[in-house]
Amino acid sequence: MSAHTTYNQWPRWMQLQTAAAYCDMSENYFKELVKDGVLPEEAFRQRRTARWDRAQIDEKLDAMLQASASSGRFAQRI
């Protein structure tokens, strides 16, 4: 995905590399946030390749932003 990819160009089911790029973070940091429950776990595996659902990622990020907006602080973890 290029740096100028729009939302509609992101695939619904993303591999780790794409999901991390979608969130603008490294793969290692993405995996850490998944492990900590900040981001969703993989939705399924396709031939040993984990796939994340873009909608689930968006839901987690939206919830985190709403929580931080309510508290008056930006999300600490990211």
Domain assignment of residue 2, yes or no: no
DSSP of 30-77: HHHHHHTTSSPPPSEEETTEEEEEHHHHHHHHHHHHHHHHHHTS--S-
**Domain coverage including residue 36:** 11-71
- Looking at residue 64, its pLDDT comes to 84
**pTM exceeding the 0.85 threshold for the entire prediction:** no
Which pairs with CB-CB distance under 8 Å and at least 24 residues apart come from 47-52? 49/15, 50/15, 50/16, 51/13, 51/14, 51/15, 52/13, 52/14, 52/15, 52/16, 52/19
- Number of folded domains in the chain? 1
What's the mean per-residue pLDDT of the chain?
Answer: 87
Q: How confident is the model at residue 70 (pLDDT cuts 50, 70, 90)?
A: confident
